[in-house]
Structure 1
């Protein structure tokens, strides 16, 4: 059965106590997703592992949503390919279409649209970090449920962030950011300080977007080697683990 698609023009009062945990995702087509992992992976393998990342992250969030006041959402692109997510997501997920041109604009409009749908707060989450600890997502939800205005950031080891959460769609934190660089987190923190909003920082984690970070992921999931830059244990990511085991077995 297709997942419900949210419409910002039709707010839902039942969402008003919930934080939307929205994964920014492309429809999983070979050659269109995780292209920086090819090589070492083939385009087909890159698309397959992208699907594993998506399944693991959505299951991690769904398990949290069963206990906390939050809901899993996929903010997807391109429009018209929402059917490619059918069967990949846990029950209870909803979809919202991305709009806008640049990455910063798509983040901003996703936050605006989900708040317009009726959610009390929103976290925008990358689709490249399948082992983010569930505790990090829980910390974000807890921070956004507390009274007062604040922004939550989950820093990535590459200088970006894996999560940004807010109660209001602050345009300033998405403007004039040099995306896909090692300064994204620092520039975002500077923008938050400039507008005078409280900042809550989550545990440092990592994105898997090239051969080097794929090696970190393999060490974490196949050899139980915690990344050296964190003292926190990551999510088990069973779908990704099985894929990596099968890939290693075929090598």
Structure 2
């Protein structure tokens, strides 16, 4: 693998919840059971971390919820060389803004991904980092109306305010906020993520079922 050129280097933040049965991938519990849904979530987190490491952009951070005490997180830190951080804020927007503030304060561009998109590739992360070398923000929209990746070259906390997180309106509202703020934005190709039974069927059909951490 080739490391990203210096002008495209960035810190990569991966957002993840602890794989506690009944608290993650709840819309898939009727199909997989609570334990199976949690196991799938763990596998997707592991895949996201692998993608982050393979991008070779820079330091990889795992931002944990509700805290960083779950043994799964410590195993991930050991396996992937990621540093552990606790998500802090009242909603997803404020938690992402805090993670960006941390990374940008260190002088790095930041690429933030969730753990629900199995089709993100290391090259997608590198493209995002390259985009924010010339833009303020880059997004990879999701088919369900949200987004699976966001990258920033400077602090823009207002970008994450007033958004109906967890709904199909997220990307549309974010585009409106981008226009209001007058920031330079780059949109990357649309991707899909895994939340519903039909997403799991697609995951199987495309042969993308992740390995599960034991």
Q: TM-score range by the shorter chain?
A: 0.7 to 0.9
Alpha-carbon RMSD: 1.8
Q: Which shows bigger deviation, 81-90 or 131-140?
A: 81-90
List runs of 5+ in structure 1 lacking aligned partners. Answer: 1-16, 222-236, 244-251
Distance in 2 of aligned mates of 1:242 and 1:21: 22
Q: Does 1:169 align with 2:155?
A: yes
> What is the distance in 2 between the residues matched to 1:80 and 1:140?
27
Q: What is the aligned counterpart of 2:84 among 73, 89, 95?
A: 95
> SS of 2:139's equivalent?
strand
Change (3 A) 1:119 1:130: farther
Is 1:61 matched up with 2:47? no
Alignment match, 1:115 = 104
Residue 119 (structure 1) shift:
4.3
**Could you list the runs of 5+ residues in structure 2 that have no partner in the other structure?**
1-7
The two structures have a TM-score, normalised by structure 1, of 0.75
Q: 1:82-122: CA deviations, max 9, x gaps?
A: 53312235333111111111111111111112223x14111
Give the one of 16, 23, 30 matched to 1:39.
Answer: 30
Contact 2:135/2:185 (8 A) holds in 1:
no
**Structure 1 residues 242 and 24, CA, compared in 2 at 3 Å: closer, same or farther?**
closer
Matched, 1:217 2:183: no
Cα distance change, pair 80–150 in 1 and its aligned pair in 2 (3 A): closer
Equivalent pairs, count: 204
**CA distance 1:241–1:106, shift in 2 (3 Å):** closer
Residue in structure 1 matching 2:180, options 190, 194, 207: 194
Residues 18 and 71, structure 1, Cα contact 8 Å, conserved in 2: no
What do the CA deviations read for 1:2-60 (whole angstroms, capped 9, x no partner)?
Answer: xxxxxxxxxxxxxxx95121111111221121112111111100111111101111112
Secondary structure of 1:169's aligned partner: coil
Contact 1:76 1:82 in 2 (8 A): no
